[in-house]
Amino acid sequence: MGAVETPAPDTWILADSTHVAATPQQVYDVVSDVTRTGEWSVFTRACEWEDAEGPQVGARFVGHNSRPGRDWDTRSEVVAADPGREFAWEVNGLVRWGFEMEPEGDGTRLTHRWVLPPAARDVLRERFGDDGVELRTNDARTSIPATLASVRAVVERG
Band of the pLDDT at 9, cuts 50, 70, 90? low
69 part of a folded domain: yes
6 part of a folded domain: no
Interatomic CA distance for residues 51 and 67, integer angstroms: 27
Q: What is the mean pLDDT of residues 142-149?
A: 95
Give, for 47, the enclosing helix (H) or strand (E). strand 44-49
| Its pTM surpasses 0.85 | yes
User: Please, are residues 118 and 97 in contact by the beta-carbon 8 Å criterion?
Assistant: no
Residues with Cβ within 8 Å of 23's Cβ and at least 6 positions away in sequence, in order, are 84, 103, 107, 108
Closest by CA to 140, choosing from 122, 124, 119, is: 124
User: Please, are residues 47 and 62 in contact by the beta-carbon 8 Å criterion?
Assistant: yes
Model pLDDT, residue 1: 40
Give the number of domains in the chain.
1
99 part of a folded domain: yes
10 part of a folded domain: no
Share the mean pLDDT of the chain. Answer: 91
Interatomic CA distance for residues 24 and 22, integer angstroms: 7
9 part of a folded domain: no
Return the biggest CA–CA distance within the chain: 46
Interatomic CA distance for residues 99 and 130, integer angstroms: 28
3 part of a folded domain: no
Closest by CA to 35, choosing from 27, 26, 44, 24, is: 44
47 part of a folded domain: yes
Surface-to-core class of residue 24, CB atoms within 10 Å of its CB (0-12 exposed, 13-18 middle, 19+ buried): buried
| pLDDT single digits (tens) 63-113 | 999 988 889 999 999 999 999 999 999 998 889 999 999 999 999 999 999
| Res 121 pLDDT > 70 | yes
| Res 132 pLDDT > 90 | no
Interatomic CA distance for residues 110 and 128, integer angstroms: 32
Whichever domain contains 91, its CATH number is 3.30.530.20
116 part of a folded domain: yes
| Full domain range(s) for residue 65 | 15-157
